[in-house]
Structure 1
Amino acid sequence: MHAITIPEPGGPEALVWAEVPDPVAGEGEVLVEVAAAAVNRADVLQRQGHYEPPPGASPYPGLECSGRIVALGPGVSGWSVGDEVCALLSGGGYAEKVAVPVGQLLPVPEGVSLTVAASLPEAVATVWSNVFMVAHLRPGETLLVHGGASGIGTMATQLGKAVGARVAVTAGGPEKLARCAELGADVLIDYREQDFVEEVRAATDGAGADVILDIMGAKYLDRNVRALAVNGRLAVIGMQGGVKGELNLGALMAKRGAVTATTLRGRPGVEKAAIVAAVREHVWPLVGAGRVRPVVDRVVGMASAAEGHRVLEAGRHVGKVLLVV
């Protein structure tokens, strides 16, 4: 088969479409013929040499894909050759085929095309596990989403609204904020021009955000704590603004707040399977009913994955960038 390889870390040009050995479905796995994969920030970090795949994972980038099952490994039941699926991966999505543990498979949701389904697994699993399984967002609460126009942000906005929360988003510029409003965002904050702490407080009569989903890390740590409501929960899922910040424990304790930080890629398979099962139970019906929809910015050829990376790094996209085989 062919896959996107990274012979040497570097810029987008480091991504090379090359012939590689076919994967084999092991115990409890299926082999998926890939139709599409999505570009994620983790793929960019791997290309740059900053994010090695977990032990035993495919060396090729790609943390989610869609496609058709072409072979079943030993011990697999409940799935058949020919099934159209999408999958959460530890790597290997930028390829013509990938082996997937059955616990990380999802059926393509009703009303979603096979290609577009590739945009769902990573974003939905990340949002559901952090905002709902860890931070326990409840109806009537306020959710602040940083990077509201990103793949994660567009999904978090919709899921927050679907459960009856009020959603505030940060994004860069009026065009992106307008797209966030179309998805249901209630409070629109241009991080280039506005202080999100002041804006969130003003929108909540001084209370602050009950849950904050943060992709920035160190750069936003102090301000995120100040933006939290009493009993607020800050969920950090990215470090685009650095890895080391100063935390005012006094301010956090005064609010009886909590800070969590998680990754998804390196989790044990049993944990990923539990998240995927929760997504199938709680989110797939919302997608099938049209209450939550995937947001795709553009689709490019898999062999031209470098172009997809350039789009993501330029930050002009809204939603997901997909690569099609």
Structure 2
Amino acid sequence: MRAAVLTQFGAPLTVREVPDPEAGGGEVLVEVLAAAVAPYAAEVFGGRRNYPLVPPVVPGIGGVGRVVRVGPDATRLRVGDLVWCDCTVRSRDDALAPDITLQGWSSRGEGGARLAEHLHDGSFAELMRIPTENAYPLPAAAGDDPARWAALGVHVIPYGGLLAGGLAAGETLLVSGATGNLGSSAVAVALAMGAGRVVAPGRNRAALDLLADRFGPLVRPVPLSGDEAADRAAMSAAAEGPIDVVIDLLPPSAPSAVARTAAMTVREYGRVVLMGGVGMLGGGDLALPYPWLMRNSVTVRGQWMYPRTANVGMVRLLAPERVRSFGLDAVNDAVAHAASHGGPFDRTVLTPPAR
């Protein structure tokens, strides 16, 4: 098969022939129809994010495909089924705290590295081998436009955070990082879940206007000034009432003060979910005040990725996207396009040719 291979950090991806993957017991072989390209992919491949990928590796974070082969443990999947391939792979020998790898992308700890060694390659290829439980059936209509459905990999991340925060219908959510690729997705997903109001702070005025135009009065944009007290007051005023949940999806380049300002708008007994990259490149700690947390009974929760059931829920909630597709041979053009088109609802997708 043909695949895009990261041979070393800092080098362009090389499209070349590699052996077809062979699925073993508990695995499924899928023909890849569409795979999303993250806006920060160039940072990963360039080594700036220091992800624990081990070249040579076929990268890629999930995708849409058709089942080519199933193992003996599959009782409902059939050859030819259209599926979403979830990249979040969990070890099967610890139900309470499984090791996790993001297939073809990243991993966590020694156990995650061992999983990544076994399921080394991702979706930037004509074929992909995945665990049986990571294949989620899609409606037949997804076959008409698999590139749009590849956006599942974006939306399911904030969806996992909103589930972790217990967002309920009618509640007010504040999205820290609302103008980014994941943050804007959180706005859309929260409204699909029934949020009564979404406060959307950010510095990008054009992105804030896009959110307001797309979703109307349920979204309350807040241009940030950089002054913590003033920004906190502006976000609280925009909510016109208590803020029940704050979700942070800021990138690693964002200062911790921005995340802290947003978090401290939450009401008494409110919930704060941390899913972004603040602090991953160094910088100051989040430093939420102990007395404020304790006296207001605030719950702060970290959430990496999402539970398996979130994939099923997200299939039901998927909204339209603006998608630019590239063939496999143009993978480096796709990575460059994704880096410059990482705003709200702007997706870049690889579409390998049919075999």
* TM-score of the aligned structures, taking structure 2 as reference length: 0.75
2:127 to 97, 105, 113: 97
Deviates more, 1:187-196 or 1:170-179: 187-196
Deviates more, 1:22-31 or 1:146-155: 146-155
Q: Please say if residues 64 and 83 of structure 2, whose CA atoms lie closer than 8 Å, have aligned partners that are also in contact.
A: yes
Shift of 1:79: 0.9
SS of the equivalent of 1:304 reads helix
1:296 to 295, 302, 322: 322
With over 3 angstroms needed to count, the CA separation of the structure-2 counterparts of 1:64 and 1:316, relative to structure 1, is closer
Aligned to 1:167: 198
Shift of 1:237: 1.7
Aligned to 1:245: 285
1:23 maps onto 2:21 in alignment: yes
Distance 1:31 1:51 in 2: 26
SS of the equivalent of 1:309 reads helix
Where do residues 282-293 of structure 1 align in structure 2 (5 Å cutoff)?
282-287=313-318, 293=319
Distance 1:157 1:109 in 2: 24
2:245 to 190, 203, 210: 210
Q: Please say if residues 146 and 153 of structure 1, whose CA atoms lie closer than 8 Å, have aligned partners that are also in contact.
A: yes
SS of the equivalent of 1:3 reads strand
Q: Which amino acid aligns with 2:331?
A: A
Shift of 1:240: 5.4
With over 3 angstroms needed to count, the CA separation of the structure-2 counterparts of 1:109 and 1:192, relative to structure 1, is farther
User: CA-atom RMSD, angstroms?
Assistant: 2.9
Q: Please say if residues 105 and 276 of structure 1, whose CA atoms lie closer than 8 Å, have aligned partners that are also in contact.
A: no
With over 3 angstroms needed to count, the CA separation of the structure-2 counterparts of 1:276 and 1:172, relative to structure 1, is same
Distance 2:225 2:21 in 1: 45
Unaligned 5+ runs, structure 1: 265-271, 288-292
1:131 maps onto 2:162 in alignment: yes
Shift of 1:53: 4.2
Distance 1:2 1:240 in 2: 36
Q: Please say if residues 124 and 279 of structure 1, whose CA atoms lie closer than 8 Å, have aligned partners that are also in contact.
A: no
Aligned to 1:310: 336
Distance 1:193 1:98 in 2: 45
Q: Which amino acid aligns with 1:228?
A: V
Shift of 1:73: 2.5
2:236 to 183, 190, 201: 201
Deviations 1:170-205 (A, max 9, x none): 344343223322442511133478864233211234
Identical pairs, percent: 26
Shift of 1:300: 2.2
2:270 to 228, 232, 235: 232
SS of the equivalent of 1:252 reads helix
Aligned to 1:65: 63
Where do residues 6-45 of structure 1 align in structure 2 (5 Å cutoff)?
6-10=6-10, 14-40=12-38, 43-45=41-43
Shift of 1:99: 0.8
Shift of 1:88: 1.0
With over 3 angstroms needed to count, the CA separation of the structure-2 counterparts of 1:110 and 1:236, relative to structure 1, is farther
Distance 2:161 2:133 in 1: 19
Q: Please say if residues 146 and 215 of structure 1, whose CA atoms lie closer than 8 Å, have aligned partners that are also in contact.
A: yes
Deviates more, 1:69-78 or 1:142-151: 142-151
1:155 maps onto 2:185 in alignment: yes
Q: Please say if residues 64 and 86 of structure 1, whose CA atoms lie closer than 8 Å, have aligned partners that are also in contact.
A: yes
Q: Which amino acid aligns with 1:7?
A: T
SS of the equivalent of 1:156 reads helix
Shift of 1:34: 0.7
Q: How many residues align?
A: 304
Q: Please say if residues 274 and 301 of structure 2, whose CA atoms lie closer than 8 Å, have aligned partners that are also in contact.
A: yes
1:322 maps onto 2:352 in alignment: no
Shift of 1:66: 0.7
Aligned to 1:187: 220
SS of the equivalent of 2:311 reads helix
With over 3 angstroms needed to count, the CA separation of the structure-2 counterparts of 1:221 and 1:193, relative to structure 1, is closer
SS of the equivalent of 1:238 reads coil
Distance 2:168 2:247 in 1: 13
Where do residues 268-287 of structure 1 align in structure 2 (5 Å cutoff)?
275-280=307-312, 282-287=313-318
Q: Please say if residues 32 and 99 of structure 1, whose CA atoms lie closer than 8 Å, have aligned partners that are also in contact.
A: yes
Deviations 1:6-35 (A, max 9, x none): 22212xx52222222221112221111111
Larger Rg: 2
Shift of 1:259: 2.3
1:255 maps onto 2:281 in alignment: no
Distance 1:316 1:123 in 2: 11
With over 3 angstroms needed to count, the CA separation of the structure-2 counterparts of 1:230 and 1:196, relative to structure 1, is same
Aligned to 1:290: none
Shift of 1:316: 5.2
Unaligned 5+ runs, structure 2: 88-102, 105-121
2:146 to 93, 114, 139: 114
